[in-house]
Structure 1
Amino acid sequence: MTALPVLETARLRLRGIVPDDAEAMFPVLSDAPLMRWWSSAPHGDVAETRAYLTYAPDPDGMRSWAISLGEAAPAIGWVTVIRRRPGVNEIGYILARDHWGSGIAHEAVARVIDLLFHDEGQRRVFADVDPDNAASRGLLERLGFKLEGHLRAEWETHIGVRDTIIYGLLRDEWATRG
């Protein structure tokens, strides 16, 4: 298994998520209102969360960083990057509800975007978001993402068939943000 680089910010430590994070992440993944906009239904038990977190990071595929408040602190969320084609990556994230509004999601996602653009030289990052997920849309807009499209009846999820909207960010836009 290839280890992900540990990323740090002023208050956060991001490291590869592992199945042992299941106990810490189960309250997040079982929170029905929080999971409304997720691609799967709320988890029923820790075993389901452990299975969900059991995969090997793949630099040419999917990578997930656990968000924590320090080296020994438990995971409170994660940021996932999926390489869709050379130079183009999809980003997703989830954060425990009791940390909403604290800037943690912004800080964590921004740090991963820095890695993608500055360290890896990627050219584009995009996010696929339910149009009714106002909090996620706001985060992306604060990070400088631009609304690029609206796909009707794109996903069939645990809450039914849903539209999706695509937000995109280019390396040059990230480099010149104020």
Structure 2
Amino acid sequence: MASLPALATDRLTLRPLAGEDGAALHAAFSDPGVMKYWSGGPHETVEQTLAYAAENAAGEPYATWAITEDGGEALGWVTLGRARQGVAEIGFILRRDRWGRGYAGEAAQAVLAHGFAEMGLHRVFADIDPDNAASIGVVVRLGFRLEGRLRQAWKTHIGLRDSLIYGLLKDEYRT
């Protein structure tokens, strides 16, 4: 994957994720509340989060940006995982102390704009646990539509879980 550009919003700077961001991101990835609906459970060690961040920073199939307020410390991330040509899955995570400020939606909006305009995407989807009301709210506010439910699609640390699939097409996207 080509080098990712930094993306700016009114309040945030999104920069390419680096493996060393795992140290700052451990606050999110070790928090049971933040990780409740993630596909894996809370991380037990900083080394585990460093390895996970390095994997996601490596490029294909992930384009992952660190969410920062000023280009510095990673507060979370937003990712576009390439599913196939022109199609990507969006995902995001944010430290609990930054919840409720609209950061996840603001960061996702910037990444969607880049994905549709610069990466040649025609479709972006989100795979969300049905009980994850906060993430559902983010994607609905961005214009995603509920497309379906996959029963017992994930075996996670909290058991077998359904997935709700939300989709957004390029011609439906509003900046």
- 1:3, CA displacement in angstroms? 2.7
**In 1, distance between residues paired with 2:54 and 2:173?**
32
Corresponding residue SS for 2:44: coil
Which residue of structure 2 lines up, in the alignment, with residue 57 of structure 1?
59
Structure 2 residue aligned with 1:102: 101
Equivalent residues in 2 for 1:37-116, closer than 5 Å: 37-55=37-55, 56-58=58-60, 61-71=61-71, 73-116=72-115
- TM-score (structure 1 length as normaliser): 0.93
Asked if 1:6 corresponds to 2:6, the answer is: yes
SS at match of 1:137: helix
Q: 1:118 & 1:26 partners in 2: Cα distance? A: 32
SS of residue in 2 equivalent to 1:47: helix
Match of 1:24 in 2: 24
Q: 1:20-60, CA deviations, whole angstroms, 9 ceiling, x for partnerless residues?
A: 112110111000011000011100110110111123113xx
Corresponding residue SS for 2:54: coil
- Which residue in 2 is equivalent to 1:163? 162
Query: Pairwise CA RMSD of aligned residues?
Result: 1.3
Q: Secondary structure at the match of 1:54?
A: helix
Aligned to 1:125: 124
**Residues 122-131 or 10-19, more deviating:** 10-19
Aligned residues, how many? 173
- CA-to-partner distance for each residue in 1:85-128, whole Å, 9 max, x for gaps? 11111000001111111111111000000001122231100000
Matched, 1:35 2:35: yes
Identity %: 50
1:131-170, aligned counterparts within 5 Å? 131-170=130-169
TM-score by length of 2: 0.95
Q: Which runs of 5+ in 2 are unaligned?
A: none
Q: Aligned partners of 2:89 and 2:142: how far apart in 1? A: 15
How far apart, in 1, do the equivalents of 2:101 and 2:109 lie?
14
1:46 partner amino acid: V
What is the rounded CA distance, in whole Å, between the counterparts of 1:44 and 1:66 in structure 2? Answer: 21
2-structure distance, mates of 1:81, 1:119: 13
Q: Distance in 2 between matches of 1:115 and 1:4?
A: 10
Contact 2:22 2:54 (8 Å CA) reproduced: no
Moved >6 Å (runs of 4+)? none
